[in-house]
Chains A and B, each alone.
Chain A
Amino acid sequence: MGTDQEKAQAVISEFLQRIEKGVGGWTDETGLWGEGLGLDSLEAAELSAMLEDEFGSDPFSAGGELPETVGNVIAFYATVST
C-alpha cells in the first residue's frame, strides 16, 4: 500500500478521526501541539503507540526532540526507510 510516508499519513488520519481532532483539515505544516492539533500527552502517547504498531518505531519514542508538526512525524519515516 504505498510508501512508509503514505502509511504514516494514513495512521495519522485514522488517529485524528478517533480522537475527533483536525476535523477542519490539516497539512504537513499543522502543529501537533497548542494552536495546531492541540494534542495532549495522552493523545500523543496514543499516536506513538499506533505508529509503533505499524512500523515498529515512532518519532516520539526515538529519543531527541519531539516532533512539532505532522510533517516532522511523516519525515521520520522517510529518514528511517532511506
Chain B
Amino acid sequence: MIHLLEAAAASSPDQEAVVTSESSATYGELLDGSRRVATALRRRGITRFAVVEPDAGLVLRLLAGAALAGAEPCQYQPDTDGTEFVDHASVLDHKFVVTRRDDLSGAFDFIHPDELTAESGDNTVVPEDDSAQPLLIRTTGTTGQPKAARHDWRVLGKTVANVRPKPDHRWLLAYGPQQFAGIQVLLHVVASRATLVAPFPRQPKNGLEALLTQRVNCVSATPTFWRFLLAEARSRKTTFPPLEQITLGGEASPADLLEEIRAIFGDAKVSQVYASTEFGSITSVSDCKPGIAVDSLYSESNPASNVRVDDGELWVRAGAGMLGYVGESSRAESAGASEPVGSAGGEWRRTGDLVEIVGDRVMFRGRKSEVINVGGVKVHPLPVEDRITGLESVAMARVFGRPSKLTGAIVAVEIVPVGGIAGAHIEGIRSEVKAAVADLPRAWHPRSVTFVDTIETRGGKTIRGMQD
C-alpha cells in the first residue's frame, strides 16, 4: 500500500485521491499524512492497533502509515456496537484503538486520529524492502468467536501489479474499507492513481447520490447492493450517467441482475470477481453471464487455473490469500517465509461454495451453510431466489430457511415488490412466485411468503441460511 501510494504521489501529487462526506485529499496530501502516522506509531512504539473510523481518507492514511511503520492495523465497522467492540477487541488482543468515537470504553488506550496525523512531518520512516507490512481483516462471520485473517500488503499488492494508471477513473467505495473487498478497491484505486469517492454511510442510496453528483464512473459492489441501488433509482425515476467499469463480488450474480445492469450501462465493462477474505482474489469473469466458464477450471489442459470443482463444491488455491487466522501460526511462518495460505505447493482448499455444472457454466448454488434441510431434502436457496427476483413485479427477494416442527425447516421468502408494498398486487405476486418455482422439487417451493419494505443485509450481502 505504502509503495503504491508513494508511486502515485511521486507521479501525480496533485491528483485528487479521495473524496469523502467530510473532506478530500490529493495523493501528495495522503502520503504526507501517512508519513506522519508512521512517525507517530514508531514514536509511541505501537505495533498493532484497532481502527474504528468511517472516513475513508483517514483510513487510507492510517493503513498506509501503518504499512510504512510495519504496524498491524485492524478495522472495525465504524458504527460497531460498543459492547461487541469490547468483546472482539479483547479477543483479538488490541490495546490501542484509533477512533474519533467518544462512546467506546474498555481497557484500551484510545487515540484520536488527529494525534497521529498531526505528528510533525518526518520522512525518515522507511520500511525495509523485505520487512512485514501486516494487515488484519476481520471476517464477516456471525457466530462463534471473532475471527481475523492476517494479511500482508506485499502479498495483496501482487494482485494489482499489472494495473495501469487511470487517473480519470472515479471509483465508488460501496464496501466498507474494513472488508476484504473494500481493501481491494483501495488498492486498485491507488495502483491506478484514480479517485476514490467514499460517501458515508455507505448505503445504496448514498451510493446512488454519489453516482449522480460526484462524477463516479466505476463501481465495485455486491449484487445485493446493486439491487437496492437500482430499486432506489427506479423509485426516483433516475437517469443514470454512463459508467466505465462495474465489478460485482461477494455473492453470486443472478442472470436477471446482470441483464438489467447490461441494459442500463451498455458501454460499461462488467466483471464478476470471485474472492474471499481467506483466499484473496481467485478469479474473475467479464462475459456478463452468471457463474464461471467450465473451461476456466483447473484441468490438464489448464494447469494454471486456481479453481476446480469437486463433489459439488468449489475448491481454490490462493494467489494472494491470508497468512493465517489470528492465534494460528501459519505454515508460512513456520517455513520462515511470507507466503499466503494455499499458495505453496498449489494446496487446494474447500470454499464452502456449492456449485453445479450446467452446460458450459459453473453455477453457484449457495453456501454450504445456507443449505436448507426440508424433511431430509437439501434445498439451495439461490436457484429459488433467482427465479423469484427474475419476476418483473419483484424488486428484491431473499430466500432462507424457517424452522418447522413438521419438516425440520421450510423454504421461506421475503419479497420487496416493485414500487413497495402499498399498491402491490400481493395475491398476484404470490401466484407468480408459485408458477416460477413450479418445476422445482416440491420441497424447494417457498411455504412462507411474506412481503416487506426492505430485506436485511450484512456486509452488503443478502442473509440466507436458517433464520429463527
Distance to closest chain B CB from A16 (angstroms)? 14
* Contact assessment for B405 and A42 in the assembled complex, using a CB-CB cutoff below 8 Å: no
Complexed CA–CA distance, A50 and B412 (Å): 11
Complexed CA–CA distance, A61 and B409 (Å): 12
Instruction: For B410, give the chain A residue with the smallest CB separation.
Output: A45
| CB within 8 Å of B: which A28-80 residues | 41-42, 44-46, 48-50, 53, 60-61
Instruction: For B377, give the chain A residue with the smallest CB separation.
Output: A42
Complexed CA–CA distance, A53 and B402 (Å): 12
Instruction: For B450, give the chain A residue with the smallest CB separation.
Output: A53
Given known pairs A48-B406, A61-B405, the reply for A42 and B450 (CB within 8 Å) is no
* Contact assessment for B445 and A42 in the assembled complex, using a CB-CB cutoff below 8 Å: yes
Given known pairs A48-B406, A49-B402, A60-B405, the reply for A42 and B430 (CB within 8 Å) is no
* Contact assessment for A45 and B406 in the assembled complex, using a CB-CB cutoff below 8 Å: yes
* Contact assessment for A42 and B442 in the assembled complex, using a CB-CB cutoff below 8 Å: yes
The interface size bin for chain A is 10 to 19
Interface flags for B353-381 (1: CB within 8 Å of A; 0: not) read 00000000000000000000011000000
Residues of A within 8 A of B404 (CB): 45, 48-49, 61
The interface size bin for chain B is 10 to 19
Given known pairs A45-B404, A49-B402, the reply for A18 and B430 (CB within 8 Å) is yes
Instruction: For B375, give the chain A residue with the smallest CB separation.
Output: A41
Complexed CA–CA distance, A42 and B372 (Å): 14
Within 8 Å by CB of A41, from B402, B406, B448, lies B406
Complexed CA–CA distance, A61 and B404 (Å): 7
Distance to closest chain B CB from A31 (angstroms)? 17
Q: Helix, strand, loop or mixed for chain A's interface?
A: helix
Complexed CA–CA distance, A17 and B160 (Å): 58
Residues of A within 8 A of B375 (CB): 41-42
Distance to closest chain B CB from A63 (angstroms)? 8
Residues of A within 8 A of B445 (CB): 42
Instruction: For B443, give the chain A residue with the smallest CB separation.
Output: A42
Residues of A within 8 A of B430 (CB): 18
Distance to closest chain A CB from B280 (angstroms)? 41
Complexed CA–CA distance, A44 and B406 (Å): 8
Complexed CA–CA distance, A25 and B448 (Å): 24
Within 8 Å by CB of A46, from B405, B448, B450, lies B448
Instruction: For B447, give the chain A residue with the smallest CB separation.
Output: A46
Interface flags for B386-416 (1: CB within 8 Å of A; 0: not) read 0000000000000000101111001010000
Complexed CA–CA distance, A46 and B411 (Å): 9
Complexed CA–CA distance, A46 and B410 (Å): 8
Residues of A within 8 A of B448 (CB): 46, 49-50, 53
Instruction: For A50, give the chain B residue with the smallest CB separation.
Output: B448
Interface flags for B118-155 (1: CB within 8 Å of A; 0: not) read 00000000000000000000000000000000000000
* Contact assessment for B447 and A49 in the assembled complex, using a CB-CB cutoff below 8 Å: yes
Residues of B within 8 A of A53 (CB): 448, 450
Distance to closest chain B CB from A62 (angstroms)? 8
Distance to closest chain B CB from A75 (angstroms)? 19
Residues of A within 8 A of B443 (CB): 42
Given known pairs A41-B375, A42-B443, the reply for A49 and B410 (CB within 8 Å) is yes
Complexed CA–CA distance, A45 and B374 (Å): 10
* Contact assessment for A41 and B405 in the assembled complex, using a CB-CB cutoff below 8 Å: no
A-B pairs with beta carbons under 8 Å apart, 24 shown? A18-B430, A18-B434, A41-B406, A41-B407, A42-B374, A42-B375, A42-B407, A42-B442, A42-B447, A44-B406, A45-B407, A45-B410, A46-B447, A48-B404, A48-B405, A48-B406, A49-B404, A49-B410, A49-B448, A50-B448, A53-B448, A60-B405, A60-B406, A61-B405
Binding site for A on B (CB under 8 A): 374-375, 402, 404-407, 410, 412, 430, 434, 442-443, 445, 447-448, 450
